[in-house]
Amino acid sequence: MNSSASSNETWWARPSFWDIYSAAGGIGVFNTVFILLTNTLLIFTITTSKKLRLRFSNQLILSVAVCNWLYGAVWCPMKVDYIFTRQWRFGCWMHVAYQMYEEYIQIFITTWLIIVYNTCYIVERRRIQNPVVSKNKVLALRLGTLASPWVVAVVVILPLAMANLHPVWNQSVWTASYCAVILTRWADILLPCLCFFIPATVLMLQTLYVFVSLNSDSRSSVRTTPLNRAISRRIGVCVIAASLITVLLSMGEQVCNLVKEVYNWNNKLHVITWHVTDLLADFQKVALPLVWIFLPEIKEELGMKIKWRVGGRYFAEDAVEVTYYRNYAHD
């Protein structure tokens, strides 16, 4: 066991892998900056508009953005430091927490919240009549829906993962620079299914339904105004794009997590595959807020804020001038 741990500790530190780590670290810095920038912009746009933050669909988007922002603010800098220095300098239990959040908790929260968002869009398109309930019940249902992925992730997923740390890969083989976190085989299969593969299947089915419904709308003879049709189509395109980005960019990393015990990560091809899929999963957290910013109401609100900031003085002077002439004419 000690020889295995020693070989695992040193193979990735060979000079032949340094160019891979340098490239991955540089892209990691780029991803970290843009994860924080795009998600901060989305959070700011929604929270500073009363009209936006009161809509349940926007509250779901806000919850996903907060989850991604936490990943970019807390865990991404640690990962970039690990890639550049090739050693984990924040303690092994922090490394366990990092892997639990990146591989299971974050993806579980994101996928299930997007499923709820897509369901709300489909229900609205189908014009399903909502039951008449009191405001307090509606508020409780919304809070429960928003909180349930976070609660399940912390109360179910995290303890399940922590209880199934592989007995061979526990604290006894941790060193100052290498903190292996390997789960038992059944947990390595069950957790990715619960956190990604099952919700990803639901997302793809929802995407197929929305795609078919948008195509049928374009051929439908039902009378709708061009503006309403264009807005509905743009929202549908954003729903499809968000679902595909979540599934496709995260799938490589999840598949690698499933097969990493079958193959030894001891050659350049394996290391490149691991880094590419990891960077694509990080880029997903950049692309998602960019998609949602193009939702009509969020894009309009963001455009008003930018226009107000850039041209605030011009519009203020113009308003004063118009008011003066109106008062003068009235007199």
Quick: pLDDT tens for 207-223: 999 999 888 876 655 44
Distances in whole angstroms, Cα of residue 195 to Cα of each of 78, 116, 252, 309: 23, 15, 14, 41
**Residues near 236 by beta carbon (within 8 Å), at least 6 away in sequence:** 121, 125, 210, 213, 214
Q: What are the structure tokens assigned to 262, written together?
A: 């079958």
Residue 221's φ and ψ, nearest 5 degrees, are -95, 5
Quick: pLDDT tens for 227-247: 577 788 889 999 999 999 999
Cα 134 → chain centroid? 32
Distance, CA of 129 to CA of 65 (rounded, Å): 29
pLDDT at 175: 66
Residues 8 and 180 sit within 8 Å (Cβ to Cβ): yes
Report how far apart the first and last C-alpha atoms of the chain are (Å, whole number). Answer: 94
Distance, CA of 154 to CA of 228 (rounded, Å): 41
Distance, CA of 43 to CA of 290 (rounded, Å): 12
User: 3-state SS of 65-92?
Assistant: HHHHHHHHHHHHHHHHHHHHHCCCCCCH
Angle at 100 between CA 95 and CA 102, to 5 degrees: 95
Distance, CA of 199 to CA of 310 (rounded, Å): 42
**Residues near 142 by beta carbon (within 8 Å), at least 6 away in sequence:** 56, 59
Q: Supply the DSSP string of 143-191, one letter for each residue.
A: HHHHHHHHHHIIIIIHHHHHHTB-GGGSGGG--SS-----B-HHHHHHH
pLDDT at 6: 42
Residues 242 and 292 sit within 8 Å (Cβ to Cβ): yes
Angle at 243 between CA 238 and CA 247, to 5 degrees: 150
Separate counts of helices (H) and strands (E) for the chain = 14, 0
pLDDT at 45: 94
Cα 56 → chain centroid? 18
Tens digit of pLDDT per residue, the chain (331 long)? Answer: 333 444 444 445 555 556 666 777 788 899 999 999 999 999 999 999 999 999 999 999 999 999 999 999 999 999 888 888 877 888 888 888 888 898 889 999 999 999 999 999 988 877 655 666 677 888 888 899 999 999 999 898 888 888 777 665 556 666 666 677 777 778 878 888 889 999 999 999 999 999 998 888 766 554 455 557 778 888 999 999 999 999 999 998 888 877 765 665 556 667 778 778 888 899 999 999 999 999 999 998 888 887 654 444 444 333 443 333 334 344 4
Beta bridge partners of 183: 165
Beta bridge partners of 54: none
